Amino acid sequence: MPREGFIELYEQVNWKEGGYPPPSGFTPEDAWLITGGNPYMLARLAEAQWSPEKLARRMASLRKLQYFVNSLSADEKRWLQDATEDPDPLFTRERIPLLNKLVKRNLVVDDIPPRSADLWIDTPPPEKDANLGIGKHVAWQTPIHREAVKIALRANA
Calpha distance 47→146 (Å, rounded): 19
Decide: 88 and 133 in contact? Cβ < 8 Å: no
Q: Residues 6 or more apart from 55 whose CB is under 8 A from it?
A: 41, 44, 45, 47, 48, 144
Which one has a higher pLDDT value, 1 or 45? 45
3-50 residue pLDDT tens: 888 888 888 886 766 667 888 888 999 999 999 999 999 989 988 989
Amino acid 14: pLDDT: 65
Amino acid 9: pLDDT: 87
Amino acid 75: pLDDT: 97
Calpha distance 120→64 (Å, rounded): 34
3-state helix, strand, coil in the chain (%, to 5): 60, 5, 40
41-92 residue pLDDT tens: 998 998 898 999 999 999 999 999 999 999 999 999 999 999 999 999 999 9
The mean pLDDT value for 110-133 works out to: 79
The mean pLDDT value for 150-157 works out to: 92
Amino acid 108: pLDDT: 97
